[in-house]
Structure 1
Amino acid sequence: MTISIGDRIPEATLKTRLEDGPANITTDEIFAGRKVVLFGVPGAFTPTCSMNHLPGYLEHGDAIRAKGVNTIAVVAANDVHVMNAWRKSVEAGDRILFLADGNADFIRALGLDMDMSAAGMGTRSKRFSMIVENGVVKAVNVEDSPGKAETSGAAALLEQL
């Protein structure tokens, strides 16, 4: 079942990169008492993710935060090292929290997983965006195709804030 408006974010432990190396981060640490924009991508460094989806959140990040958002985060079924390399390659700094869900456990719990085995990519995330307040989903946008970043893009999400 796909997560919907009014649902709580499932408990999960993800990975992120801190200055001293990889670290676990729980969904409670990310979402409790905070307003968070979370977007999911099929994979770091993939064309639509790198050229269309992520850049919009970097471009509109200040406007999104000006609407009371504490954190903008991206999640993908990649390992923490790949996510950190992607963060560095786009010079995101700390403007976006990069979350690694290497086994896609969190993505599956959201009901937003898809099988991309035919493309040699295994289980990946559908392309999505959501607004979460104190762990409760207030808006969720899922693309019909992994090659599109329109309804889940930053400009569309900004209109929902």
Structure 2
Amino acid sequence: MAQQISVGSSLPSNVTLKYCPYDAELQNACGIPQNLELDRFKDKKVVIVGVPGAFTPTCNNTHLPEFHAHYEDLKKKGVEEVIFVTTSDPFVMDAWGKWTKTNDKIIMAADGNGEFLSAMGLIQDLTSVGFGAVRSKRFALVADHLKVTYLGVESGHGVSVSGVKAVLEAL
């Protein structure tokens, strides 16, 4: 596994995430997965949030709702896009976005093979709880023109340094 990314590092450029773009007409149907190239963020300030799994209690009940609720606060601080990522497939992430009604505010991205998360050193092995060997650590980062300006990686359960309040304070 790669060394964990740090403030001042660049986001990996040789990986592609997948996502289903928001489409209001597809609320009860699957979207069509598209590539999400990180180059899309080269001239932007973005927040990327990594979670161990879609629909899991902390991710679904705390982490994602807080970012959704404070979306406008993030925008006021110059954030142009918010991306949630986990090692799942784009259809699960699309369904999670529809379930939580994030609509076009948060990009729900999939890193099915864990290539993006592995390149950043943000993978954890959760086989002991039946989640598999390649799962995202819980984290939030701010990248400005693809350079990491904030990184909060949780060392235990719950949401603190990866939460929206910590990100807003860092902005």
Q: Larger deviation: 42-51 or 113-122?
A: 113-122
* Equivalent residues in 2 for 1:74-153, closer than 5 Å: 74-122=84-132, 123-145=134-156, 147-153=157-163
Q: Which runs of 5+ in 2 are unaligned?
A: 24-30
The reply to whether residue 16 of structure 1 matches residue 16 of structure 2 is no
* Equivalent position SS for 1:78: coil
> Residue 26 of structure 1 corresponds to which residue in structure 2?
37
Which contiguous aligned blocks of 4+ residues in structure 1 show a shift greater than 3 angstroms?
Answer: none
The reply to whether residue 3 of structure 1 matches residue 5 of structure 2 is yes
User: Hey, what's the Cα distance between the residues in 2 that align with 1:94 and 1:40?
Assistant: 18
| Percent of pairs with identical residues | 41
Question: TM-score, normalising length from structure 2?
Answer: 0.90
> How many residues end up aligned between the 2 structures?
159
Q: RMSD of the TM alignment (CA)?
A: 0.9
Shift of residue 121 of structure 1?
1.2
Shift of residue 53 of structure 1?
0.5
User: Hey, what's the Cα distance between the residues in 2 that align with 1:108 and 1:140?
Assistant: 16
Shift of residue 115 of structure 1?
0.3
Shift of residue 21 of structure 1?
1.0
User: Hey, what's the Cα distance between the residues in 2 that align with 1:63 and 1:21?
Assistant: 30
User: Hey, what's the Cα distance between the residues in 2 that align with 1:139 and 1:67?
Assistant: 14
* Equivalent position SS for 1:43: coil
> Residue 61 of structure 1 corresponds to which residue in structure 2?
71
Q: Which runs of 5+ in 1 are unaligned?
A: none
